[in-house]
Structure 1
Amino acid sequence: MSRQYQNVEKQLNKMLTDKIVPGISCALIHDQQVTKFIAGMAAVTPVKRKLRPQMTYDVASLTKVVGTELLISQLVETGQLAYDQPVIEILPHFFDSRVTVRHLLTHTSGITGYIPHRNQLTNTQLLRALFTLRIGSDFNKKVVYSDLNYIFLGLIAEHLLHEPVQLAITHRILQPLKLNQSTFHPDPLTCVPTEWQGDSGLVCGVVHDPKARILGAHCGSAGLFSTLDDLTKFVRWLLNPTQNQAVVQPATVAQLFQNQTANPQLTRSFGWGLIKHHDHWVLKHSGFTGTMLLVDSTTQNALVFLSNRIHPTAENQIYFTYRQAVIDAFLETDC
């Protein structure tokens, strides 16, 4: 890596030498120029596999911002939807008239509740059970990150577009942006494995998130598989959205870099978390499997970080300390 990114590289190598993750695929973008770091293993259990360029990752919750959020913004642009429209106007069986599309997008809806035996339900049973949830005391008072918000946003998109959300993301987001290596149906032979689940074997080429596995094409919160090159192409588009206006207008991308909560005392953009950096916001989003995007449109810097931190096991809490060190190192060079 260039001298500018020496500290970032130091933190990435430390993550590998301390065996926090088996391998890392990372790209740093500055003024559209890309510096890559690919090192380590794709798998260590049950057999070792070396990490190769162009391997495909289960990007987990990055699905929310690469796909679902942009789909909703597209529907707003075309006048089919409004950010402050009550969800119940689109989904009549929704359980609270106060909740708007904006609340779902910014994780301020306060959705709560318990679905018994959730991971054993069928697709139809889980879809029905979602509408037995409720809105709790956190409504519009706290940002509480939840997949449920983006599952409901996916159902909103389905209702308006008359096709499953993952098909809509493929047709309306991935293909226009030429993210040709991004898919909801990957070839396992190209995939970085995720968790080793003992008697159940190695999860590879199948979405790790159990809700996404059950909901399949109807899940707007997870399910996407992608590569370092495709996600680099995606963040370069966020940094310069005038280069391709087939998905949304540049003004729609620009609003991502602003606080979008209905309660101005809270901080969240549409989909993205916001990090205050000097006098502006940096976008951040991560995925459970060990993925992360950081995007700063002001300085034209970005970071794509892909790992399989839940391999061999998801019981890897120390990872988050190391990930924060990568974020801090990036922000130190982000000027």
Structure 2
Amino acid sequence: MGYPQTKAALQRIVTEHVVPGVSYALIDGDRVETGQMGVAALIPQREALRPGMQYDVASLTKVVGTLSVTLQLLAQGRLSLEDPITRWLPEWGDARVTVRHLLTHTSGITGYIPNRNKLPAEALKTGLLGLHVGPTFNRQMVYADVNYIFMGWIIEQILGMSIQAAVTQRVLEPLGMRHSTFTPNDPLQCIPTAVEPGRGLVRGIVHDPKGWVLARHCGSAGLFSTVDDLVLFCQAYLHPETAASVLPPVLIHDLLRDWTPTGRAGRSLGWALTTAAWPQPHRVLWHSGFTGTYLVLDPVADQAMVFLSNRVHPVAPNEPYLDQRNAVIGTYLAEKTRS
């Protein structure tokens, strides 16, 4: 397979120490190329990056897990985009906010929770349900974890199990994602993330502080996965008829449009939207994770890219990474052609 410019861009961010290492996959129809560059860890000592290592994929949990289960429930008629979330979460006091708002990050939910990352799970849940709707409601996309935390709790009410159990049973297992889990067995098989006060080097445990506190009840972060498993996910997304019980084909095929309430806020259900030029200008799905991960999915061209790194290692947030990430994605989208 080709993509020399994309692979050079990946090598550059490793060589320039933007990230410690990268595991990647380039999918083009039925062809898949995977590879690794750099190292898995810098501290407490440098550690080789091995094929098959598990990454904390952070907010990719939203689209791989929580959105997939949500789409199943929508297809089954057990949930509606226009359901007020108070139907499922009566503790939330604003009936204007709907499932559509959560999925498209147009809920406008905002507010401050004192000592948020130090609260126990029940107190954090109470604090999140006590937030309020701000001025961006219904008209502006403002990305926020709380939307998918709430979505996970709604799924729990419908299915009677934790969101992470639901994702495991209804997405990971049927897609054959055998090395994807919320509870890794071997921390040394996991790529370490940041060194955190009070936690030390975080390895094999979710980096996200809300995910750490909420544990199995968090639908916004917490998943660990591998390049090969995410290739399986991407391939199923590109051809949902092969996994119709997991990824409802009608809804999956319709994700390349703006699903926000106004139809003009530039967001699909779950996914961000960008554009590619080949074979003609068209929309592409993508999503990133705070730890340094992203997926780019192009159903029109039958292509996808998986990118996994630990850009927060050893210190978060490593903001220079963001521009480099966008540049790599831009290079990939510009280079994508069918050879």
Smaller-chain TM-score bracket: over 0.9
Corresponding residue of 1:39: 37
Supply the distance in 2 between the matched residues of 1:258 and 1:91 (Cα, whole angstroms): 28
Supply the distance in 2 between the matched residues of 1:287 and 1:23 (Cα, whole angstroms): 16
Corresponding residue of 2:75: 77
Corresponding residue of 1:275: 274
Asked if structure 1 preserves the Cα contact closer than 8 Å seen for 2:25 and 2:34, the reply is: yes
Q: Deviations over 1:144-171 (max 9, x none)?
A: 0000000000000000111110001101
Corresponding residue of 2:255: 256
Corresponding residue of 1:133: 131
Supply the distance in 2 between the matched residues of 1:225 and 1:264 (Cα, whole angstroms): 33
SS of the residue 1:292 aligns to:
strand
Supply the distance in 1 between the matched residues of 2:126 and 2:199 (Cα, whole angstroms): 28
Alignment of 1:1-335 (within 5 A): 2=1, 4-186=2-184, 187-197=186-196, 200-278=199-277, 279-335=281-337
Supply the distance in 2 between the matched residues of 1:329 and 1:289 (Cα, whole angstroms): 21
Supply the distance in 1 between the matched residues of 2:172 and 2:232 (Cα, whole angstroms): 11
Amino acid at match of 1:52: R
- TM-superposed CA distance for 1:201, in Å, is 2.3
Return the TM-score normalized by structure 2.
Answer: 0.96
- TM-superposed CA distance for 1:198, in Å, is 6.5
Amino acid at match of 2:133: I
- Unaligned segments of structure 2, at least 5 residues: none
Amino acid at match of 2:152: G
Number of aligned pairs? 333
Return the TM-score normalized by structure 1.
Answer: 0.97
Q: Deviations over 1:203-252 (max 9, x none)?
A: 10000000000001100000000000000110011111111222132112
Asked if structure 1 preserves the Cα contact closer than 8 Å seen for 2:57 and 2:289, the reply is: yes
SS of the residue 1:177 aligns to:
coil
- TM-superposed CA distance for 1:141, in Å, is 1.6
SS of the residue 1:257 aligns to:
coil
Q: Deviations over 1:287-320 (max 9, x none)?
A: 0000000000001111000000001111411111
What percentage of aligned pairs have identical amino acids?
48
Q: Deviations over 1:107-145 (max 9, x none)?
A: 000000111111111111111111110000000121000
- TM-superposed CA distance for 1:106, in Å, is 0.2
Amino acid at match of 1:277: A
- TM-superposed CA distance for 1:197, in Å, is 3.2
- Unaligned segments of structure 1, at least 5 residues: none
Asked if structure 2 preserves the Cα contact closer than 8 Å seen for 1:143 and 1:267, the reply is: yes
- TM-superposed CA distance for 1:196, in Å, is 2.2
Supply the distance in 1 between the matched residues of 2:143 and 2:212 (Cα, whole angstroms): 20
Asked if structure 2 preserves the Cα contact closer than 8 Å seen for 1:109 and 1:149, the reply is: yes
Amino acid at match of 1:227: T
SS of the residue 2:44 aligns to:
coil
54-63 or 186-195, larger mean C-alpha shift: 186-195
Give the ranges of 4+ consecutive aligned residues of structure 1 lying more than 2 Å apart after TM superposition.
196-201, 276-279
Supply the distance in 1 between the matched residues of 2:174 and 2:251 (Cα, whole angstroms): 16
Amino acid at match of 1:220: G
